[in-house]
Amino acid sequence: MATKIDKEACREAYNLVRDDGSAVIWVTFKYDGSTIVPGEQGEEYQDFIQQCTDDIRLFAFVRFTTGDAMSKRSKFALITWIGENVSGLQRAKTGTDKTLVKEVVQNFAKEFVISDRKELEEDFIKSELKKAGGANYDAQAE
């Protein structure tokens, strides 16, 4: 059965994370049968990591505050989590299903496909976003 996405509900969750006035910094998109729907959301990145268990696959849109002494800005990441115990067929399907998620989640600095919890560490994600971010004035004295 072909996967579908609840675009309206997912767009609402996506916009919540994009809104700098919102305390919500992450939202997940999960499977409800063969439909992708908004899942959990939260204000702490560590709470998001707890959602990533070995037996599920999900998509997440996460806001990070990055920058340097000269400027701070929000950077967004699209994370695809595929747990260690997800079947081969579901793993393969996740790649094609991600195109549905990208119809809603269109603005992000970097995309990640992660199966190893170590790669979910906030410092790793932030350093990858920083590399993708262009100018870096950290080396200059304030």
Ordered by where they begin, the domains of the chain are 4-133 (3.40.20.10)
pLDDT band per the 50, 70, 90 thresholds, residue 142: very low
The pLDDT value recorded for residue 79 is 98
Return the higher-pLDDT residue of 66 and 34: 34
**Average pLDDT, stretch 96-109?**
96
pTM, to two decimals: 0.90
**137 — pLDDT class (breaks 50, 70, 90):** low
| pLDDT at residue 141 greater than cutoff 80 | no
Residue 40 buriedness (CB in 10 A; 0-12 / 13-18 / 19+): middle
Neighbours of 84 (CB within 10 A): 10
Work out the average pLDDT over 40-50.
97
Encode pLDDT of 2-43 as tens digits: 999 999 999 999 999 999 899 999 999 999 999 999 999 999
Amino acid identity of 92? A
- In this structure, of 18-22, 59-63, 79-83, the range with the lowest mean pLDDT score is 18-22
Sign for the CA dihedral angle at 104, 108, 112, 118 comes to negative
